[in-house]
């Protein structure tokens, strides 16, 4: 669990200091207790001393710990301050969290399901959520910040080495919370630039389904997931609940478009209303690509 | 209340006996005797604890290996929710006050009952009603609640699980808390024995006093918050749900304004228990009586200003974050003071290592780990890393279970002879204690390690790098459960068959030990008068009881 961000060392210092002094205190208290237990056992010491208090001691063990915890506070704050001050030359990446997947949007507008970054370049993250609270957590960077629906949080990091690092969702968000994983891939800058160009030119429907997070809930092969499968969807008659009323609809292009943009409007019977609204995360052209693709899944 | 009930058994004999109108089921269900109400709480909480523990074991079983082992994610999510709701709202919050506060407080004060005995019975019924409502959520609606015990919005607003019932149950349980708190405050102010000034109260009473104030002041906040959640779910009023223009962070503030102080509701009475157990087994007065008493109140007051440390990653202003961090460190100091004073109480003592003392020492050790890991959560940069990971799960089990829970076990072994008039088998009790200590650490220490490695909490499944500590932790859960079951079996058997207990088996000095074991309905043959501090051993050999000291 070696740190891999520029500030992970500062956080680790705080860890070492706090855990180290805690261990010393714990061992100290435990050994003292055991020593007293043995030394002052009743068979050895039948006549206890009735000591009620000692002002000096009381003062000592109030003041010393106060100083100690203030040092701890300082260490914690020092690392935190660096974490919160995003450098001016940082590259801005938007993090979109939604039930149970991540996507990352780069300055050129392209997207990916794993976060690619150039090593040694400060990255500024704009954290968003389409539905409930999620939390962006990369242990190796010592970085965590929540993705709140209805607001934008910020964070930043800069990697110190090439490599692949786990991303977890750390705020409980429902059924597949523990599957809401991804990776940060840190590449040498030249390689990153090549990757960015390649990635931006990828508009295959399979890629879109992955990046937009549809795969977390929908299958293309007939398996029932959290949501209905796309297989055989187009043209079929679907029973949906609209404003509490059950009705039948025939699935056409307009219905699919509407289902993606306003998922809460018509709820397919037998499913929970958990699909995140995709309005801000998907373009009309991308929807067209998906519709054409779904048509083919007979 | 002072006139004695028909017959002479009110001041002699046992509160457990009496005319047949008192010994039947109705006799129990309509009793206003604080001691019987305490036992009714004990029975109900014992059952809830065992249910909670079983669910905890099932959670650990699923986490033994990565991948789906026995059941799916949906079930897992309802399991940790139920486990948390049961353990918090039904077990550890009522906890020591409901059982030992009720039983022991009037005895320690030299009173015949609490100030409002009927209200006390009502509190028990409110508690049972709240529990019934909360458990209704298991089968009402489509599926059980799956939000975690924290009910965070907006997930709790939109979840398909029957969250409203669970939330409503917690709301009703809050009233039971408030009523009990009020009852204790008035009892402490009005019913102390003649000569017992505030600074002559046993420290357990001090712990209950601080706790009661928190219950009365903080519980209404969470009550109204939970009602707002239900209203938002049913009426869509849009306070917390951003898609309706609400603010989810507001929910978290309101929730933690109550739920942080409430961890002190759990721990302060346990600290009182420890302070009462040490003197008799050390044969000497407690070290730093005033420091311990005052630090309880300090914790209760400062504890109100630290709730934000649950929210370091939600996107609060950076200033708010460091202010909350600073305040959090301040609350650590009075806690440390207590631990140092307890340790010093063993200095030049005459120590008899009996079972209650073993539990008290176990408490000091486990709670120290809980408190020290709390420093990691209080510091900003380290909390950012461990927040919402298994480290937090480890930390709060060390404080709430290792602290308040073990404190409750300690109280049980300390006051058992008084409550049931019988002794338990000390050999079995010692074995159970050993298993509990070993199991506890095997279960929860790996969680601290896992959290630092980056394992998030509330995860049904995990990556392979986390496997070894998870496996060890699961084995620990079996050892712990074995110890707990051994402890319970021993106590239940002893309550019926144990050898008769003397009035003061530990040579303790507080008033509850001056009456018979078990006490009569009105507690004392004649109401006691107090002339010294609570832990005055002068003129008495260590281990000697009042009668022996007097003769
Ligand atoms: C008796 C043995 C126990 C076992 C085996 C056990 C096990 C666990 C485990 C494994 C979790 C983590 C679930 C997760 O994050 O995925 C958990 C959560 C929790 N436990 Fe326990 N526990 C036990 C006793 C207790 C006690 C006595 C208390 C209260 C004093 C308690 C309170 C909680 C709470 C509040 C949670 C959090 C639930 C949530 O995330 O919403 N547990 N327990
Ligand atoms: Cu999530």
Q: How far apart are CA B279 and CA B151, in angstroms?
A: 42
Task: Please give the distance, rounded to the nearest whole angstrom, from the Cα atom of residue A150 to the centre of ligand 1.
Answer: 31
Residue B459: closest CA among B447, B468, B449: B447
A137 touching B (Cβ < 8 Å): yes
Q: How far apart are CA B328 and CA B457, in angstroms?
A: 22
Residue of the nearest CA to atom 21 in ligand 1?
A: B56
Q: How far apart are CA B362 and CA A31, in angstroms?
A: 13
Looking at the domain covering A8-84, what would its CATH class be?
Answer: mainly alpha
- Of A114-128, A172-186, B218-232, give the lowest mean pLDDT range: B218-232
Question: How confident is the model at residue B516, as a pLDDT?
Answer: 93
User: Which residues of chain B fall below pLDDT 50?
Assistant: 1-7, 549-551
The residues near A174 (Cβ < 8 Å, ≥ 6 apart) are A99, A100, A132, A274, B77, B146, B155, B159
What pLDDT, in 10s, does the model give residues B213-257?
Answer: 999 988 888 888 888 888 888 888 889 988 888 899 999 998 898
Looking at the domain covering A206-296, what would its CATH class be?
Answer: mainly alpha
- CB count within 10 Å of CB B111 equals 25
Question: How confident is the model at residue B4, as a pLDDT?
Answer: 46
Q: How far apart are CA B511 and CA B504, in angstroms?
A: 10
What pLDDT, in 10s, does the model give residues A201-231?
Answer: 888 899 999 888 898 899 988 888 889 999 9
Whether the CB-CB separation of B105 and B212 falls below 8 Å is answered with no
Residue of the nearest CA to atom 43 in ligand 1?
A: B56
Whether the CB-CB separation of A17 and A79 falls below 8 Å is answered with no
Max CA-CA distance within chain B? 76
For A91-201, CATH gives 2.60.40.420
Q: How far apart are CA A290 and CA B383, in angstroms?
A: 42
The residues near B237 (Cβ < 8 Å, ≥ 6 apart) are B228, B231, B244
Strand, helix or coil at B218?
helix
Whether the CB-CB separation of B527 and B193 falls below 8 Å is answered with yes
DSSP state, A136?
E
Question: How confident is the model at residue B472, as a pLDDT?
Answer: 98
Question: How confident is the model at residue B548, as a pLDDT?
Answer: 58
Looking at per-residue pLDDT, the higher value among B153 and A21 belongs to A21
Whether the CB-CB separation of A80 and B324 falls below 8 Å is answered with no
Q: Is the minimum distance from the CB of B89 to ligand 1 under 6 angstroms? A: no
Which chain B residues touch A277 with a CB distance below 8 Å?
Answer: 243
Q: Is the minimum distance from the CB of B93 to ligand 1 under 6 angstroms? A: no
Residue A188: closest CA among A212, A209, A165, A163: A163
Smallest Cβ distance to B315: which of A33, A137, A153? A153
Residue B146 burial class via C-beta count within 10 angstroms: exposed 0-12, middle 13-18, buried 19 and up: buried
Q: List the domains of chain B with CATH numbers.
A: 27-535 (1.20.210.10)
Q: How far apart are CA B351 and CA B345, in angstroms?
A: 10
Max CA-CA distance within chain A? 92
For A124, list phi and psi in degrees, rounded to 5: -100, 130
The residues near A18 (Cβ < 8 Å, ≥ 6 apart) are A72, A75, A76, B375, B376, B379, B382
Domain boundary assignment for chain A: 8-84, 91-201, 206-296
Which chain B residues touch A75 with a CB distance below 8 Å?
Answer: 379, 381
Which chain B residues touch A274 with a CB distance below 8 Å?
Answer: 158, 160
What pLDDT, in 10s, does the model give residues A149-159?
Answer: 989 999 999 99
**pTM exceeding 0.90:** yes
One DSSP character per residue, B59-123 reads HHHHTTSSS-SSS-HHHHHHHHHHHHHIIIIIIITTHHIIIIIHHHHHHHHT-SS-S-HHHHHHH
Whether the CB-CB separation of A175 and A226 falls below 8 Å is answered with yes
What pLDDT, in 10s, does the model give residues B530-550?
Answer: 998 999 988 788 877 766 544
Instruction: Give the closest ligand to the alpha carbon of residue B152.
Output: 1
Q: How far apart are CA B209 and CA B187, in angstroms?
A: 10
Q: How far apart are CA B66 and CA B467, in angstroms?
A: 7
Whether the CB-CB separation of A290 and A260 falls below 8 Å is answered with yes
């Amino acid at each position: 669990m070696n740190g891999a961000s520029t500030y992970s060392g500062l956080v680790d210092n705080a860890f070492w200091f706090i855990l180290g002094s805690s261990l010393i205190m714990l061992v100290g208290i435990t050994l003292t207790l055991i020593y007293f237990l043995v030394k002052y056992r009743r068979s050895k010491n039948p006549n206890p001393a009735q000591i009620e208090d000692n002002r000096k001691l009381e003062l000592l063990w109030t003041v010393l710990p106060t100083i100690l915890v203030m040092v701890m506070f300082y260490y914690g704050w020092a690392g935190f301050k660096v974490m919160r001050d995003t450098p001016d030359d940082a590259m801005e990446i938007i993090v979109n969290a939604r039930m149970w997947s991540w996507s990352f949007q780069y300055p050129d507008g392209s997207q990916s399901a794993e976060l690619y970054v150039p090593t040694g370049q400060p990255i500024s993250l704009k954290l968003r959520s389409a539905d409930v609270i999620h939390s962006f957590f990369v242990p190796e960077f010592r970085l965590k910040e929540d993705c709140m629906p209805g607001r934008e949080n910020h964070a930043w990091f800069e990697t110190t080495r090439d490599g692949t690092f786990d991303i977890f969702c750390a705020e409980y968000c429902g059924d597949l919370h523990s599957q809401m994983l991804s990776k940060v891939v840190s590449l040498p800058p030249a390689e990153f630039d090549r990757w960015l160009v390649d990635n931006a030119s990828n508009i295959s429907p399979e890629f879109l389904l992955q990046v937009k997070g549809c795969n977390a809930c929908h299958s293309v092969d007939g398996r029932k997931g959290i949501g209905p499968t796309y297989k055989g969807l187009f043209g079929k008659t679907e029973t949906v609940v609209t404003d509490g009323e059950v009705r039948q609809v025939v699935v056409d292009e307009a219905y699919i478009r509407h289902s993606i943009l306003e998922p809460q409007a018509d709820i397919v019977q037998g499913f929970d209303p958990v699909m995140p609204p995709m309005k801000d995360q998907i373009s009309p052209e991308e929807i067209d690509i998906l519709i054409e693709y779904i048509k083919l899944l007979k | 209340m002072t006139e004695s009930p028909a017959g002479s058994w009110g001041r002699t004999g046992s509160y457990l006996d009496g005319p047949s109108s008192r010994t039947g089921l109705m006799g129990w269900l309509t009793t206003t005797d604080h001691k019987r109400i305490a036992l009714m709480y004990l029975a109900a909480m014992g059952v809830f604890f065992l249910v909670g523990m079983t669910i905890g074991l099932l959670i650990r079983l699923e986490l033994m290996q990565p991948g789906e082992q026995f059941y799916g994610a949906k079930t897992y999510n309802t399991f940790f929710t139920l486990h948390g709701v049961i353990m918090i709202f039904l077990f550890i919050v009522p906890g020591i006050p409901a059982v030992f506060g009720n039983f022991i407080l009037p005895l320690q004060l030299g009173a015949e009952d609490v100030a409002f005995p009927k209200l006390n019975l009502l509190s028990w019924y409110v508690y049972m009603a709240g529990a019934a409502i909360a458990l209704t959520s298991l089968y009402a609606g489509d599926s059980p609640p799956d939000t975690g015990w924290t009910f965070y919005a907006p997930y709790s607003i939109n979840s398909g699980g029957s969250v409203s019932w669970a939330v409503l149950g917690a709301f009703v349980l809050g009233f039971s808390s408030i009523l009990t708190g009020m009852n204790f405050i008035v009892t402490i102010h009005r019913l102390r024995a003649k000569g017992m000034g505030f600074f002559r109260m046993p420290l357990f009473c001090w712990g209950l006093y601080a706790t009661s104030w928190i219950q009365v002041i903080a519980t209404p906040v969470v009550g109204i918050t939970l009602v707002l959640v239900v209203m938002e779910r049913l009426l869509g009023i849009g306070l917390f749900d951003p898609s309706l223009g609400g603010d989810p962070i507001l929910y978290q503030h309101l929730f933690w304004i109550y739920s942080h102080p409430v961890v002190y509701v759990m721990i302060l009475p346990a600290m009182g228990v420890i302070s009462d157990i040490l003197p008799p087994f050390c044969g000497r007065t407690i070290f730093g009586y005033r420091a311990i008493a005052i630090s309880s109140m300090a914790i209760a007051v400062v504890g109100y200003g630290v709730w934000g440390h649950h929210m370091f990653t939600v996107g609060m202003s950076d200033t708010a974050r460091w202010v909350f961090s600073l305040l959090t460190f301040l609350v650590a100091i009075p806690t440390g003071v207590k631990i140092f004073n307890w340790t010093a109480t063993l200095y030049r003592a005459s120590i008899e290592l009996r079972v209650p003392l073993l539990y008290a020492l176990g408490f000091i050790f486990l709670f120290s780990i809980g408190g020290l890991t709390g420093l990691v959560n209080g510091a900003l940069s380290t909390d950012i890393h461990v927040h919402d990971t298994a480290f937090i799960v480890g930390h709060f089990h060390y404080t709430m279970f290792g602290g308040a829970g073990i404190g409750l076990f300690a109280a049980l072994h300390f006051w058992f002879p008084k409550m049931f008039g019988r002794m338990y088998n000390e050999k079995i009790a010692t074995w159970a204690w050993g298993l509990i200590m070993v199991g506890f650490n095997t279960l929860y220490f790996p969680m601290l390690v896992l959290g630092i490695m980056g394992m998030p909490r509330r995860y049904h499944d995990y990556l392979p790098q986390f496997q070894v500590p998870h496996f060890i932790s699961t084995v620990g859960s079996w050892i712990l459960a074995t110890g707990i079951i051994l402890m319970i079996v021993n106590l239940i058997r002893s309550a019926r068959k144990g050898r008769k207990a003397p009035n003061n088996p530990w040579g303790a000095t507080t008033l509850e030990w001056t009456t018979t074991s078990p006490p009569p309905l009105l507690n004392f043959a004649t109401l006691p008068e107090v002339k010294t501090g609570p832990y005055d051993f002068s003129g008495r050999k260590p281990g000697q009881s009042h009668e022996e000291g007097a003769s």
